[in-house]
Structure 1
Amino acid sequence: MLENSFGLIFFLKVPRHESNITTVYFRITVDGIPKEGLTRCQWEIERLNQKKERATGTKEHAKSLNFFQDSLTNKIHEIKAEIMYI
């Protein structure tokens, strides 16, 4: 598996109802083919920096979400490396 491009982003989808809290999604793009998944983490829309793809704030909840995103990113890159070098 030698891809020309690989991307991973985290984002929030705007909810259809009037809720301020929504699920954090991720999108993996390989060679221009996107696949989305959800993290089952809930977060407030105004407390996520979309450019940095990070939770804002210094409270424990924000730190745990950022740690979870880092862990998920590392796991995805580990799986990618395993697939490439098999």
Structure 2
Amino acid sequence: MSTNYSLLFYLKKSKNYVSGPKPIYMRITVDGIPKEVSTGRECDPSKWSSKANRMKGTTEAVKTLNTYLYALASKVSTIHTTMTAATEEITAESIKLRYQGKDIKRTQFLEVFREHNMQMEALLGNGFKPNTLKGYKTSLLHIGQYLTFFNWFASEFLPDLLFRLTALLISTDDFTLLFYTEITARPLL
């Protein structure tokens, strides 16, 4: 199991590139296998130092970008150290996934609630009464119904409402825009 890795920041040129800034990519290499991740930043090629893997200059924008790249390198280093300490298999892909937060198993709220209710059912008679479990099951039912309604509302009704309000705002005066801005700034509940 290899524990060494290399990290490189570089400018990636797209196929139809003519001129202007290029996106900055981070390449993580383990055992000769590279994986690339976009940093979400761009740099003009004339201002990029390939030797330093950083932007050249002393302006505030250059310092900010270089600090951001150092922070990314530090985050990858921390991930590598954590994986080494946990004796996990270290590959370029596993470091990339951990960096992107995609390696974490995400559980949904209702699944966790159902598991809780099953555990509570097993504990009946050991300090827990049937009415307690009944309350938990009722809560699960109500939350499930609420989430189902909210998902329907958000996917079916809300986009149409926002479209109509936007069309209305485009066709009305500044007073309506101020009123709409005031209404949307207030909390719903």
Which structure has the larger Rg? 2
Structure 2 equivalent of residue 48 of structure 1? 48
Amino acid at match of 1:29: T
For residue 57 of structure 1, give the secondary structure of its aligned residue in structure 2. coil
In the alignment, the residues of structure 2 paired with residue 20 and residue 45 of structure 1 have an alpha-carbon distance, to the nearest angstrom, of 8
Q: Does residue 1:61 correspond to 2:57, yes or no?
A: no
TM-aligned CA deviation for residue 12 of structure 1: 0.3
State the identity %.
33
Residue deviations 1:25-60 (CA, integer Å, cap 9, x gap): 010001111000110101101101011111101111
Query: Post-superposition shift, 1:18?
Result: 1.4
Aligned to 2:26: 26
After TM superposition, what 4+ stretches of structure 1 lie above 2 angstroms from structure 2? 14-17
- Give, in angstroms, the shift of residue 4 of structure 1: 5.4
Aligned position for 2:12: 13
CA distance in 1, matches of 2:9, 2:17: 21
SS in 1 for 2:62: helix
- Is the contact between residue 24 and residue 43 of structure 1 (CA under 8 Å) also seen in structure 2? yes
Aligned to 2:146: none
One-letter amino acid of the counterpart of residue 8, structure 1: L
Equivalent-residue separation in structure 2 for 1:72 and 1:5 (angstroms) = 17
Task: Please say if residues 11 and 26 of structure 1, whose CA atoms lie closer than 8 Å, have aligned partners that are also in contact.
Answer: yes
Report the structure, 1 or 2, having the larger strand content. 1
Aligned length: 85
Residue aligning to 1:36: 36
- Structure 2: any 5+ residue segments left out of the alignment? 87-189
Normalised to the residue count of structure 2, the TM-score between the two structures is 0.43
- 1:17 deviates by 2.5
Distance in structure 1 (CA, Å) of the matches to 2:51 and 2:63:
17
More helix by share: 2
Per chain length, whose mean CA-contact separation is higher, i.e. which structure has more relative contact order (CA < 8 Å, sep 6+)?
1
For structure 1, the residue ranges without an aligned partner over 5 or more in a row are: none
